[in-house]
Amino acid sequence: MLVIHFEQIKQYLKLLYKTYQTFFKAAFKITLLLVLLTPIQALLPLVTVQAGQKLVDQLTAQKSYVYFLILWIIATLLTQLLPVLVTNIQGILTDKLTGFINISLMEKSKKLMTLELFDNSAYFDDLKLLSEDASWRPVNLIVFGVAVLRDALTLVGMFCLLGKYNCFLALLLFSVLLPQTLVYYRIQQEAFETMVTRSKNARKLDYFSSLLLERKDAKEVRIFQMFNSVIKKYRTLFFETQRTVNAVRKKQLVIASCFLLLTVTVSSLGFWWFIVQVQRQVLGVGILLLYISVIASIIESMTNIVETTSLLYDSLLWVKKYEHFLDFKESATDGKLEFDADFEALIVKDLSFTYPFSTKEVLHQINFSVKKGERIAIVGENGSGKSTLVKLLLKLYPASSGTISFDEQKLRDLSAKSYWQKVTVAFQDFSHFKLSLQDNVTALEELPEATVKALLQEVTLPLKAPLKLTTILSREFEGGTELSGGQWQKVALARCLHRKSKLIFLDEPTAALDAKSEQELYRHFVELGKDTTLLFVTHRMSAVNLADKVLFLKDGRSVACGPHKELLATEPSYRELYELQKQAYR
């Protein structure tokens, strides 16, 4: 049992050490100053107590006490002054640490080439927690991290002071307090585990309340009358969580009371021993003042340590998650070759794929090729693997087997950065950046206004009041506005076009457009130029007429790839899909 406790304490201290390492990395000088001030602050109570004892002894012996009085005044003054200074320094360190942590999280994300991390639920949950808490965890870490160190030093100092007069009593008190601390710690640990369970539940609770309060879901929540059911779900989960937490609290109260009784008994015995020493004139009366102060300080530091360590614990686990995220290594390594956009053919050979952390293969032995300048429509039923294929072609996932190559260049050997610089895409679930219209089009690249306006014209999105290039596309920000689904899609298409790439992927970004607008836009992309290669996913079979070739996917397999008319003649399931849509649009 005790081994487990020591293991936990060891892990705790390791995490505390790592936390201090992060403090130093974030702000070396400020942390150093804080670390230097901490022992001074921690040992001041010792000086005050001893000065008080000596003062009383000198007074009763009718000797000069001025020196001890001055010492006591200085120590008391510093005891009051230092916390103000330390709070100030902690504030500066908190700001620096918050910036440091947030920037390092963003920098790490920048280094992630594939989407693998986002499919790993353990990492993804951690990442969500990391980004949600990054604004307040650093304060917690600094305030509690410094307090733990300070209280531990005071505690050690006080035990040493007591040991100077009665070593046995100091050891006895220590032996009562040690198991008390460990049990306290264990209880806090249990409380924390409940808190973690609670934190999982808390996220669910948050979601339920946001579901009924946020704009995003306001329409469907009303129409489908979801209020009562969601409130009921919230209530059930809330009370269930409360019950578990209360059970831990009750246990905590009982055990804490038992140990408190033991500590009071030992302290009283100690007090009695010191009274006897004073009666026998072995020690001066001042020792009683010292003893009372030492016991009060030991108990206070002890309580503080247990409370602060448990308050600090989840923040330390947060640091662990932070380190864990920074250490995340992708299974695929990036290539080194520069992408030559002047390729003659894109060749996909025996391509199979299983998503990371999944066992189901979603693409099986896909084969097709695209010549430079060709327009390929990728069609197939829902879930047939069209978007997955596009993600693989974009190097967002490494293939499980098989190859994608541009002439002789294998995609896996290309540097992701060089590849992404020369391709462009509009996704089905494209990003709605809460930035200005201009920034949404340029993806924060600096482009002349005239170019942005021309792009918007290309995708037929007129700049009519109140929409300007500087308008923020979100009501969350002052002066912001919201676009319609179709307008948003045009913004995504303008973003896709701004790259002027020779290799374009469209993963059905046009679902919210009417058939005419969609046809016009596809035509626009098709007419971009003879050396522009276009691969577009579409559900509207009318769009396949614009393509040179159609890649027909079924259950993750490439059933056929060829001109639309050829597929109609040779591939019955393709003909069936086409006829079905034709009838629907009649």
Ligand X SMILES: Nc1ncnc2c1ncn2[C@@H]1O[C@H](COP(=O)(O)OP(=O)(O)OP(=O)(O)O)[C@@H](O)[C@H]1O
Please, are residues 423 and 379 in contact by the beta-carbon 8 Å criterion? no
User: Could you tell me the smallest distance in angstroms from the CB atom of residue 540 to ligand X?
Assistant: 12
CA pair distance 102, 122, nearest whole angstrom: 20
Q: 213: exposed, middle or buried (C-beta count within 10 Å: 0-12, 13-18, 19+)? A: exposed
Least CB distance to ligand X at residue 23 (A): 37
Under rule CB under 6 A, residue 387 binds ligand X: yes
Residue 519 sits in the site that holds ligand X (CB under 6 A): no
Cα 536 to Cα 550: distance, rounded to the nearest angstrom: 10
Nearer to ligand X, 281 or 382 (CB): 382
Question: Which one, 364 or 371, has the nearer CB to ligand X?
Answer: 364
The two most distant CA atoms of the chain are separated, in Å, by: 118
With CA atoms as reference, report the closest residue to 455 among 547, 528, 510. 528
- Of 179, 383, 479, 563, the residue at the interface with ligand X (CB under 6 A) is 383
Taking CB under 6 A as the binding criterion, the range among 38-46, 172-180, 236-244, 383-391 that sits at the site for ligand X is 383-391
Look up tokens 């009921």; give the residue.
Answer: 232
Does residue 382 touch ligand X according to CB under 6 A?
yes
At its nearest, how many Å lie between ligand X and the CB of residue 433?
22
Stretch in the footprint of ligand X (CB under 6 A) among 336-344, 386-394, 464-472, 557-565: 386-394
Between the two ends of the chain, the Cα-to-Cα distance in Å is 75
Binding marks (x or -) toward ligand X, 8..47, rule CB under 6 A? Answer: ----------------------------------------
Comparison of 379 and 461: residue with beta carbon closer to ligand X: 379
Nearest distance from residue 382's CB to ligand X, in Å?
4
Q: Name the residue nearer to ligand X (CB basis): 385 or 398.
A: 385
Distance in Å, CB of 195 to ligand X, minimum: 30
Nearer to ligand X, 94 or 388 (CB): 388
* Cα–Cα distance, 19 to 406 (Å, whole number): 47
Question: Does residue 301 contact residue 155 with C-beta atoms inside 8 Å?
Answer: yes
Cα 267 to chain centroid, rounded = 47
Instruction: Name the DSSP letter for residue 337.
Output: B
Residue (27 or 362) nearer to ligand X, CB: 362
- Nearest C-alpha neighbor of 491 from the set 459, 524, 454, 445: 459
Between residue 80 and residue 119, which ones bind ligand X under the rule CB under 6 A? 119
Q: Considering the rule CB under 6 A, would residue 538 count as an interface residue with ligand X?
A: no
Cα 80 from Cα 78, distance rounded (Å): 5
- The residues in 341-360 that bind ligand X, with binding defined as CB under 6 A, are 355, 358
Q: How many CB atoms lie under 10 A from the CB of residue 532?
A: 18
Query: Encoding tokens for residue 120?
Result: 């790993």
Q: Which stretch binds ligand X (CB under 6 A): 70-78, 282-290, 299-307, 382-390?
A: 382-390
Query: Could you give the C-alpha distances from 403 to 237, 276, 376, in angstroms and in order?
Result: 49, 89, 19
Per-residue contact flags (x/-) with ligand X for residues 306 to 345, judged by CB under 6 A: ----------------------------------------
Chain mean position to CA 20: 20
Shorter beta-carbon distance to ligand X: residue 91 or 383? 383
Q: Under a CB-based contact definition with an 8 Å cutoff, are residues 287 and 165 in contact? A: yes
User: Smallest gap, in angstroms, from Cβ of residue 429 to ligand X?
Assistant: 9
- The total of other beta-carbon atoms located within 10 Å of residue 89's CB is 17
- Given 53, 201, 297, 384, the residue binding ligand X (CB under 6 A): 384
CB of 297 to ligand X, least distance (A): 57
Residues 405-434 that bind ligand X (CB under 6 A): none
Q: Which of 138, 286, 385, 562 binds ligand X (CB under 6 A)?
A: 385
Q: How far is the CB of 318 from ligand X (least distance, A)?
A: 26
According to the binding rule CB under 6 A, does residue 197 interact with ligand X? no
Residue 388 is a binding residue for ligand X (CB under 6 A): yes
Smallest distance, Å, CB 361 to ligand X? 10
Interface residue with ligand X among 157, 286, 380, 562 (CB under 6 A) is 380
Residues numbered 118 to 177 that lie near ligand X (CB under 6 A) are: 119
- Which residues, 6 or more positions from 90, have their beta carbon under 8 angstroms from its beta carbon? 34, 142, 143, 146
Give the tokens for residue 211: 């579901």
CB of 504 to ligand X, least distance (A): 17
Q: How many residues bind ligand X (CB under 6 A)?
A: 12
CA distance 126 to 118: 10
* Smallest distance, ligand X to C-beta of residue 42, A: 51
Shortest Å, Cβ 222 to ligand X: 27
Strands (E), 322-462: 345-354, 361-371, 375-380, 401-406, 409-410, 423-426
Minimum distance, C-beta of residue 119 to ligand X, in the bound complex (Å): 5
Min separation Cβ 257 and ligand X, Å: 52
Whichever of 24 and 355 has its CB closer to ligand X, that residue is: 355
φ, ψ at 232 (rounded to 5°): -65, -45
| Two structure tokens written together for 548 | 């040179």
Q: Which stretch binds ligand X (CB under 6 A): 195-203, 246-254, 256-264, 380-388?
A: 380-388
Question: What would you report as the CA-atom Rg of the chain, rounded to the nearest whole angstrom?
Answer: 34
* Residue 296: partners with Cβ closer than 8 Å, 6 or more residues away: none
SS3 content of the chain, % helix, strand, coil (to 5): 65, 10, 25
Stretch that binds ligand X, among 260-268, 299-307, 385-393, 417-425 (CB under 6 A): 385-393
CA distances from 584 to 436, 540, 565, 571, 575 (A): 39, 11, 20, 20, 14
Q: Give the interface segment with ligand X, choosing from 33-41, 247-255, 384-392, 571-579 (CB under 6 A).
A: 384-392
Instruction: Tell me the C-alpha distance between 411 and 51, whole Å.
Output: 76
Burial class (CB in 10 A: 0-12, 13-18, 19+), 140: middle
CA distance 90 to 88: 5
Does 386 bind ligand X (CB under 6 A)? Our answer is: yes
Min dist. Cβ of residue 556 to ligand X (A) = 7
**Which residues bind to ligand X, rule: CB under 6 A?**
119, 355, 358, 362, 380, 382-388
